[in-house]
């Protein structure tokens, strides 16, 4: 793309898909390796099971996510990004960088606290995994 035009219908369509509440967070979590429904709800605060289910179906219908069912007992379901979904990695990274540069001191403090809590939780579960 050489020049930004005032309006682009493809851009508008993409923004309407990715701009829905929680969709960006879901794609980001999946780019970070989260594939199970429970992993996504644990990773993304305040995301309800119902809304996650709706968003995953939307992403699947857009060809961004695929649903894989492992016929084990119990059944194991994983959601994976398609090539189309993985191509969003640069966009997600650039938007995240932009957001960090322009966040308020309060947002930066909340982010630091969340990262510290995540690290503490990870340390607490690590000895259990090694046992």
Distance CA 18, CA 82 (A): 15
pLDDT confidence of residue 129: 52
- Would you state the structure tokens that stand for residue 109, as one six-digit string? 């403090």
Distance CA 19, CA 98 (A): 16
- pLDDT tens for each residue of the chain, 131 residues long: 578 999 999 999 999 999 999 999 999 999 999 999 999 999 998 999 999 999 999 999 999 999 999 999 999 999 999 999 999 999 999 999 999 899 999 988 988 888 888 888 778 876 655 55
pLDDT confidence of residue 123: 84
Report DSSP state, residue 125. Answer: H
pLDDT confidence of residue 127: 62
Torsion of CA 63, 31, 89, 11, to 10 degrees: 40
Name residues whose C-beta falls within 8 Å of residue 31's C-beta, 6 or more positions apart in sequence: 81, 86, 88, 89, 92
Residue 62, phi then psi, degrees to nearest 5: -85, -5
């Amino acid at each position: 793309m050489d020049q930004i035009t005032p309006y682009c219908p493809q851009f508008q369509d993409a923004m309407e898909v990715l701009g829905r509440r929680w969709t960006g967070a879901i794609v980001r979590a999946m780019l970070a390796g989260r594939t199970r429904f429970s992993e996504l709800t644990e990773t993304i605060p305040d995301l309800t099971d119902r809304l996650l289910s709706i968003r995953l179906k939307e992403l699947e219908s857009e060809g961004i996510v695929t649903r894989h069912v492992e016929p084990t007992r119990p059944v194991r379901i994983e959601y994976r990004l398609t090539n189309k979904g993985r191509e969003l990695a640069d966009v997600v990274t650039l938007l995240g960088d932009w957001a960090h540069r322009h966040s308020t001191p309060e947002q930066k403090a909340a982010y630091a606290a969340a990262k510290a809590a995540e690290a503490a939780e990870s340390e607490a579960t690590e000895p259990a995994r090694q046992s």
